[in-house]
Amino acid sequence: MALQHRPDAYLVPGKHIHLVGIGGVSMRPLGLVLKGMGMHISGSDMNASVSTEELMNKGITVHIGHKEENIRGADCIIRTAAARNDNPEIAAARAMGIPVFERAEAWGVIMREYKNAICIAGTHGKTTTTAMTTHIFMEAQRDPTVMIGGSLPLLKAGHRVGQGETIIMESCEYCNSFLNFYPTVAVINNIEADHLDFFKDLADVQQSFRRFASLVPRTGFVIANGDDPNTVEALKDLPYLTFGLALGSDFRAENISPDFSSFDILAQGKLYCHVDLAVNGKHNVYNALAAAASAYVMGIEGSCVSSGLSTFTGAGRRMEKKGSFRGADVYDDYAHHPSELHSLLESVKLRGYKRIILAFQPHTYSRTKALFADFVRELKEADVLLLAEIYAAREQNLYGISSGDLAAEIPGALFFETLPEVTAYLRSIAQEGDLILTVGAGDIFKAGEALLKES
């Protein structure tokens, strides 16, 4: 690629960078980081939001709606993955010869400014592991720059611009985005068939993760879940450190409490630290092991791992308590894959509620179709199941599928076409001792929030 067509030729102080979809979860922090690096930033988004308001309060021009004139004066365009070539601003830029770069390319350029780049990937657990790692590195006073795909109470945001030598990045495989990164530490939590609107099959997903691991230089570290067969297969013949519960793991948990919230971490056979988590569940043991392994290879003392993890109470939309309604606790979670549902329901069953009421909103038609039988199996585990209609996200329903199809396969399940109907039914059944879970990567959280407004 010629220098003038590479993003690092444009992401320099004084340049005008325009971000299409600037209100997005990783676009907003990108705009703030680039502004902090001395660039003039503008952007656009379809809707006004808390995110766009924050950007404007920090001196960034944000246009609501996408129009050709919004890009006037821009040296280059950075777009979110959802912005296609027919977007008016993208189309205008291409016609005018203004370079258009992907969001992940820009983060890759930023990453190269840091001595240490910890990139946390995996089909599940990325956000929580990135958040746990942030807690540890903040406790160790490493002053990291952070990008998380969710809000973290410690940061009061989903990002942080630090002055230290380390950047901690949640790294997504969708559209091979993480292949634009420059990790010195690559973490792989697990690998499953997902994002099948982009990947052909599980083997295709595995190949993407293998390429991601191969980005790490010889002086760096690949840290991967040695208990996950798909990960082990993907990394065959590559050098990496393992974490898990199996004997022989480089980083292993033992003396685990029944609710999986308390355990010791052994690093290469020796006690590294003891951990008491404020979150429970077997999946969080794995998340904590991955975060601790990242800290260990970066020379952080075990005491900082213990202290950092003890203050972690969860990331936004990851088993996040929203409030109580008529004695029922209302929580929200981002789980949108059958394995994530399994881990979530497995962990909440340990909490002793009378009933688990699950209001679930599938995310994308392609995922619902591809993993239909797995969704049916996991959703049956709830005591009461409410199904909202599928959240389309970036898709059109070319699959002829509905949440009603799931409900038809699950005895007692109820299907609702709208979120207000979900809220109304929750209102009618909520009792003392219930756990109400709103779950999914779309806007199902609004059903729980609407319920709480009434109380």
Q: Does residue 226 register a pLDDT over 80?
A: yes
Q: Tens of pLDDT along 278-332?
A: 999 999 999 999 999 999 999 999 999 999 999 999 888 888 999 999 999 999 9
Residue 290 inside a domain? The answer is yes
Q: Does residue 141 register a pLDDT over 60?
A: yes
Task: Looking at the structure, tell me whether residues 363 and 241 fall in a common domain.
Answer: no
Task: Looking at the structure, tell me whether residues 94 and 126 fall in a common domain.
Answer: no
CATH (domain of 340): 3.90.190.20
Task: Looking at the structure, tell me whether residues 197 and 255 fall in a common domain.
Answer: yes
Q: What is the mean pLDDT of residues 247-257?
A: 97
Task: Looking at the structure, tell me whether residues 330 and 384 fall in a common domain.
Answer: yes
Q: Rounded to whole angstroms, what are the CA distances from 194 to 86, 206, 288?
A: 26, 11, 23
Q: What is the mean pLDDT of residues 379-399?
A: 94
Task: Looking at the structure, tell me whether residues 361 and 414 fall in a common domain.
Answer: yes
Label residue 322 exposed, middle or buried (CB < 10 Å: 0-12, 13-18, 19+).
Answer: middle
Residue 108 inside a domain? The answer is no
Q: Does residue 2 register a pLDDT over 50?
A: no
Domain stops at, among 58, 75, 103: 103
Task: Looking at the structure, tell me whether residues 82 and 144 fall in a common domain.
Answer: no
Q: What is the mean pLDDT of residues 388-402?
A: 92
pLDDT at 29: 86
Q: Does residue 1 register a pLDDT over 80?
A: no
Residue 216 inside a domain? The answer is yes
pLDDT at 47: 85
Q: Are strands 145-152 and 157-160 parallel, antiparallel or unpaired?
A: antiparallel
pLDDT at 4: 54
How far is the C-alpha of 251 from the C-alpha of 90, rounded, in Å?
46
Task: Looking at the structure, tell me whether residues 9 and 142 fall in a common domain.
Answer: no
Task: Looking at the structure, tell me whether residues 369 and 390 fall in a common domain.
Answer: yes
Q: Tens of pLDDT along 329-371?
A: 999 999 999 999 999 999 999 999 999 999 999 999 999 999 9
Active site residues: 126-127, 170
Classify 389 in phi/psi space as left (phi over 0), alpha (psi -120 to 50) or beta: beta
Q: Does residue 3 register a pLDDT over 70?
A: no
Task: Looking at the structure, tell me whether residues 327 and 412 fall in a common domain.
Answer: yes
Residue 62 inside a domain? The answer is yes
| Number of separate domains in the chain | 3
Q: Does residue 449 register a pLDDT over 90?
A: yes
Domain stops at, among 75, 103, 131: 103
CATH (domain of 10): 3.40.50.720
Q: Around Cβ 116, how many Cβ atoms within 10 Å? A: 20
The residue segments making up the domain with residue 70 are 3-103
State the pTM of this model: 0.85
How far is the C-alpha of 342 from the C-alpha of 320, rounded, in Å?
17
Residue 252 inside a domain? The answer is yes
Residue 184 inside a domain? The answer is yes
Domain stops at, among 291, 310, 329: 310
Lowest mean pLDDT among 30-34, 69-73, 85-89, 95-99: 30-34
The percentage of residues in the chain with a pLDDT greater than 70, rounded to a whole number, is: 99
Residue 282 inside a domain? The answer is yes
Task: Looking at the structure, tell me whether residues 86 and 190 fall in a common domain.
Answer: no
Q: What is the mean pLDDT of residues 258-276?
A: 97
Task: Looking at the structure, tell me whether residues 137 and 13 fall in a common domain.
Answer: no
Task: Looking at the structure, tell me whether residues 280 and 412 fall in a common domain.
Answer: no
